[in-house]
Structure 1
Amino acid sequence: MFSQYFDQLLDTFRDAICITDRTGVIVYLNRRHSELTGIPKEDLLGKSAIEMVRHGVFDIVLNPEIVKTRQGTTTIQNVSNGRKLILDGSPILDREGEVAFVVTFMRDVTTLVELKRELAAQKELLDAFQKLNNFDQERTENYPQMMHSAVMRNICEQLEGIAETDATVLLLGDTGVGKDVLARRLHSVSPRAGKPFIKADCASIPANLIETELFGYTPGTFSGGNRHGKMGLIEAAAGGTLFLDEIGELPMPMQSRLLRLLQDREVMRVGSTTSSRVDVRIVAATNKDLEKEVRDGRFRSDLYYRLKVAVVRIPPLRQRKADIVPLAQGFLKFYCSKYRRSLALSPQAEDALREHGWPGNVRELENLMQGLVVTCQRNVIEPRDLPFVRPAQAKAAPCASAGAGVDIEGRSFKDIMHELEGRVLRQALARYGTIAEVAKQFGVDRSTIFRKLKGGQED
């Protein structure tokens, strides 16, 4: 019964199999052998493998050595079609302990080299991802804190409470208010902090690619695609957090697929007929009014209510003035460190920052500070350096007192006085030019001025 399936069984092996008797005559070959050597099975059966070496078909066979030593061995064989094969031979002994047959498994070195190359490429991608992840972590750690105002402190406390759960989170707010930063903060204080944080920008991924980017695809799905298939961002975030930025831009077909992920916690790759479970937390963000999008038929209502579990609304920067100057000083410190420069804001410049409307929110403020670090020729930034300050305002600014425009809402007296002290010192630095001269004018030690200026920038 078993013998009638013997050929079929050995044909299932991915390795080529060659069986010779003790004299070297080939008595069996599986189908894979012909595929690797390019020589039809019927041209080899009953022939001497040793003779094949003499005729240049193979450059080496294992039979003589294994018959002599009765031990298995491994070597490399060059075939006439140009392939290199790894031979792994083993003896089959009779009752007297003599070699009756030699079984040789043959693997394609070319395939192994390609696999090694692909593994090296994957390692390179993983290394690059690790570097990117480290960069993001460094940026997250050094990124200016956004919780100086009472409203942002409340939001951060709310996020810390939500972070302990696996609830889906929806971040709402204008473009540039810091939804990305808060999503990363949520991940960093959650039990998933040691797992991946993957961001998918639904607005920037082309509509014809977003399905494969999110869900991946199986081998052979596309001509020109990776022959081994591709893991999507959802699977890449397994165990961690998937941040879907600008989810209001997600095409309708993808909204249906995302709904299944939220309902069943399952993901199905493009081209696959089976799904697999995935443990991933979804954090979504948008600057759109999703309720209006639902009414207008551009967003699925069932998906909206699936996302509407823990909703956090982030007010625009103009409504939280207490955050403006601390953020500006934080960005200034961040980019001064990056570009090896030393700049400070004058009190008048700080007042001008507070009065600006910030239509681009925190992103506009960050880009402004980065640009000033790169372009400002002086060590102190004045109102005239700010693009939204008119010349007449810039001339009037020096007359402003150091205490003008101080935000006192939700702040302690100590914090307010600390800010005032820093502003006075920066104003003096702008007037006298050096720390040594400021110390001389104020009658204190230079180290005191330096320490207080540095402390003011860190707060």
Structure 2
Amino acid sequence: MEKLEMLELELNALVRASKDNIVITDGKGIVLRASPNSNGIYGMDPLSLIGKSVTELEAENVFSPSVTKRVLEERKEVQVMQYTATERSVMATGIPVFDEAGEIIRVISFSHDLTELQHLKEDYEELRTTMERYQSEIQELREKEHGLENMVIQSKSIQRVWQLIQRVAKSDASVVFLGESGVGKTIFARALHKGSQREKETFIEVNCGAIPESLFESEMFGYEAGSFTGANQKGKPGLIELADKGTLFLDEIGELPLPVQAKLLKVLQEKEVTRVGGIKSKTIDFRLIASTNQDLEEMVKQGKFRQDLYYRLNVISITIPPLRERKEDVAMLAHYYLQKFNEKNAMSKFFHAATIEELVAYDWPGNVRELQNMVERLVITAETKTIYPDSLPFYTQQEHQPDMDSLHIAELEERGSTLREALEEVEIRWLKRAVRQFKTTYEMAEYLGVNQSNVVRKLKKYGINAKKH
């Protein structure tokens, strides 16, 4: 065997055995040899590459950018990152080979597939960002010690409410929470107590609309032994006494009977309470928080609420906006309760994207309480693992004609769309839907049923910015 043939065999063996992709061109950038793994990296059979110009291949986005073209222009070794038509991230190194006259007669390029490494890097960066966010949130929770449960602080209106609560929590001023029934006034009242200096003391909650008027006075102020028939022989401390050193929360204070309003005002002014049937007063110290879904000012005008008590209570009033005015919170609350009731009932149901859209569009007259109850009902009664819009009690099929989100095949055909274009349109719409509903690509991937790195690549491919959706 001649020496030239032996060199040819050795060269072919090296090209085939190399884990890197090797492409050899002549001095004009015409491909002479290519590794068998060119198909996996560049999407072209090695035989299809031979005889083609790197300039032509660059224009076709096979090599983007072409390292060989750079070597021919700069006449030196060049290293570049390439992004191929097969969505691979490749580190390419081009080395010129000169003849005795100093002319480039060959360019040998080595391309190392870094796609998996790039994905790992992206995953690591996202994980690091997520961990930093979680650490920040945990630290914030520790610092504020608010221990909030089932509270979503997403919309700007609720963020403003929460900021106001933080500012007034450390004071001892009376606070009245205003808002419709079911908006979460009790949760915010508890948060206010948690953020106060009384957080380690008792939080006494009184539903003023749930206690019969005949029992209200004895329940609120307590009673001495033998005060009335059926009374406890040892007497009983009232709810106000039990709130000593802590917080007294009067929910729906507009339901407070007028006689009790007068006694409550006296307690607030004198910081003393006297039990029913008793003569000795007891000094107490509590912070008063109240809530109502009624217009107390109008009730004062109608003589249904004492004016002096109204001004005593209304030191700081905080209005909780209804759910229909903070649509940004609906999806997050729905997912929170979904997870909660899935765990409670040992289920793993999830919302279809169209169901979330319907939940967000609904007006929620019963506010957060209605949403919570509905999600629990859906988790228990939905026949399939996926909760579809037709499971919603307010959903009517007639009002929901199919739109482009369902992708009309006939319309795409009329537009002359190819199968690839139609598939891309479906892909884009699903990605945008996922971006609107979820914060991280991991959540999007779970929702779409694909790999997280695939979601990252697709978002980059279609130029979808997660922050703007």
Shorter-chain TM range is 0.5 to 0.7
Corresponding residue SS for 2:236: coil
Question: Counterpart of 2:396?
Answer: 390
Question: Counterpart of 1:428?
Answer: 448
Question: Counterpart of 1:232?
Answer: 238
**In the alignment, is the contact (CA less than 8 A) between 1:212 and 1:232 conserved in 2?**
yes
Give aligned-pair identity as a percent. 40
| Residue 351 in structure 1 maps to residue 360 in structure 2 | no
Q: Which amino acid aligns with 2:406?
A: C
Number of aligned residues: 290
| Displacement after TM superposition at 1:144 (Å) | 2.2
Q: Which amino acid aligns with 1:399?
A: S
Q: Residue by residue, what CA displacement relative to the aligned partner does 1:331-365 show, whole Å, maximum 9, x if unpaired?
A: 11112122221122222111111100000001100
Q: Using the alignment, how far apart are the partners of 1:232 and 1:396 within structure 2?
A: 60
| Residue 298 in structure 1 maps to residue 304 in structure 2 | yes
Corresponding residue SS for 1:191: coil
Which residue of 367, 373, 379 maps to 2:373? 367
Matched ranges for 1:56-71 at <5 A: none
Q: Using the alignment, how far apart are the partners of 1:375 and 1:395 within structure 2?
A: 25
Matched ranges for 1:23-422 at <5 A: 143-393=149-399, 396=402, 399=406, 401-402=429-430, 418-419=438-439, 421=441
Distance of aligned partners of 1:417 and 1:326 in 2 relative to their CA distance in 1, 3 Å threshold:
closer
| Displacement after TM superposition at 1:230 (Å) | 0.6
Corresponding residue SS for 2:237: coil
Q: Which amino acid aligns with 1:162?
A: V
Q: Using the alignment, how far apart are the partners of 1:395 and 1:228 within structure 2?
A: 69
Q: Using the alignment, how far apart are the partners of 2:357 and 2:186 within structure 1?
A: 27
Q: Using the alignment, how far apart are the partners of 1:234 and 1:424 within structure 2?
A: 50
Q: Using the alignment, how far apart are the partners of 1:247 and 1:354 within structure 2?
A: 31
**In the alignment, is the contact (CA less than 8 A) between 1:344 and 1:426 conserved in 2?**
no
Q: Residue by residue, what CA displacement relative to the aligned partner does 1:272-296 show, whole Å, maximum 9, x if unpaired?
A: 1121111111100000001100001
Distance of aligned partners of 1:250 and 1:426 in 2 relative to their CA distance in 1, 3 Å threshold:
same
| Displacement after TM superposition at 1:141 (Å) | 5.0
**Structure 1: any 5+ residue segments left out of the alignment?**
1-139, 407-414, 430-437, 446-459
| Displacement after TM superposition at 1:378 (Å) | 2.1
| Displacement after TM superposition at 1:419 (Å) | 3.6
Q: Using the alignment, how far apart are the partners of 1:354 and 1:275 within structure 2?
A: 53
Q: Using the alignment, how far apart are the partners of 1:366 and 1:389 within structure 2?
A: 17
Task: Calculate the TM-score normalised by the size of structure 2.
Answer: 0.58
Q: Residue by residue, what CA displacement relative to the aligned partner does 1:5-40 show, whole Å, maximum 9, x if unpaired?
A: xxxxxxxxxxxxxxxxxxxxxxxxxxxxxxxxxxxx
**In the alignment, is the contact (CA less than 8 A) between 1:198 and 1:243 conserved in 2?**
yes
| Displacement after TM superposition at 1:191 (Å) | 1.1
Q: Using the alignment, how far apart are the partners of 2:337 and 2:148 within structure 1?
A: 9
Q: Using the alignment, how far apart are the partners of 1:197 and 1:354 within structure 2?
A: 34
Question: Counterpart of 1:435?
Answer: none
| Displacement after TM superposition at 1:424 (Å) | 5.0
| Displacement after TM superposition at 1:405 (Å) | 8.3
**In the alignment, is the contact (CA less than 8 A) between 2:252 and 2:293 conserved in 1?**
yes
Corresponding residue SS for 1:220: coil
**Structure 2: any 5+ residue segments left out of the alignment?**
1-145, 408-428, 457-469
